[in-house]
Amino acid sequence: MSKETVDNPGVIAFPPALFAGTLALGLLLHFIFPVNFLPRSIAIASGVVVLVGAALIAISSFRAMRRAQTAVNPSRPTTAIVSDGAFCFSRNPIYLSLTLLDVGIALLFNALWALLILLPLVVVVQNGVIKREERYLERKFGDEYLRYKASVRRWV
């Protein structure tokens, strides 16, 4: 089967695994070489706020995808362009929520390392996941996706 006939974007890795692995590495570095960068009360309060935001975005995203009856897993075929719920303000709300989840946990642990290594991960996700998904959706849905892409930002 050629690359053009595979009905999925061919992302470099399962995105939640990328985020979980990076977070685990950041927390490990924090426990070996602790660098606290915020007062404890501010770290915990801001971490909770960010985690609540991540959860709300994730719930909205999964509900919208379920209503559209399309796969959440990028290794499965996409059957519809989802443009409601969190998808009305971000083309990638699930990756946004995973990023916020990592930020929130890093804040709760006051783990600067976890935040610092999240930055290269976002570049990897942008190039190895999101851009591949966008090429796939453009091939599969054409003008419908291009209109959606023109009207909604990639992240926020």
What are the pLDDT digits (tens) for 135-148?
A: 999 999 999 999 99
Would you say the C-alpha torsion 68, 78, 156, 125 has a positive or negative sign?
Answer: positive
Residue 1: pLDDT band with limits 50, 70, 90:
very low
- What pLDDT, on a 0 to 100 scale, did the predictor assign at position 146? 97
Place of tokens 């929130």: 104
Give the CA angle between residues 95, 101, 107 to the nearest 5°: 140
Q: What is the pLDDT of residue 9?
A: 87
5 pLDDT more than 70: no
Nearest-angstrom CA–CA distance, 19 and 112: 16
Instruction: State pLDDT tens for residues 9-60.
Output: 889 899 999 999 999 999 999 999 999 999 999 999 999 999 999 999 999 9
Q: List pLDDT tens digits, range 49-96.
A: 999 999 999 999 999 999 999 999 988 999 999 999 999 999 999 999
Q: What is the pLDDT of residue 97?
A: 98
Nearest CA among 117, 113, 115, 108 for reference residue 29: 113
Residues 58 and 92: beta-carbon distance below 8 Å: no
CA pair distance 86, 143, nearest whole angstrom: 21
Mean pLDDT of all residues in 125-154: 95
Per-residue pLDDT at 3: 52
144 burial type by CB count under 10 A (0-12 exposed, 13-18 middle, 19+ buried):
middle
Contact 112, 37 (CB under 8 A): yes
Domain ranges of the chain: 38-151
Q: How far is CA 76 from the centre of its chain?
A: 17
